[in-house]
Amino acid sequence: MKIQRMVSWFRLDTEALAGELVVDHIPLDTLRSIFTPPPTDELLYNPYDIQQREALLLAPWIDLRFEFAAYSYQLDCFQA
């Protein structure tokens, strides 16, 4: 089973999906240190909100300009 993780962003005014960016190149240990999941979700299967703190920690790994005034962001996990 292949797992794919991505950053998804949604328009604040309509909640419509505005974009996705695959982040499989970021090591799982790095993602765990950024999002600090509970022990029941060590593989980060659940969605995680991305706020300013997480965006700053993700910045060295991805080329995405976070615009929190217009979008909400989250880390998602899917079976590929």
Number of residues written out for the chain: 80
C-alpha separations of 73 from 2, 16, 45, 48 in Å: 23, 12, 16, 9
Domain 3-79 fold is Chitinase A; domain 3 (3.10.50)
Going by C-beta distance under 8 Å and a sequence separation of 6 or more, which residues neighbour residue 72?
9, 10, 12, 49
pLDDT in tens, 59-77: 999 999 999 999 999 999 9
- pLDDT at residue 1 above 80? no
Compute the mean pLDDT over every residue in the chain, rounded to the nearest whole number.
Answer: 96
Quote the strand ranges of 1-80, DSSP E: 3-11, 17-22, 48-50, 71-79
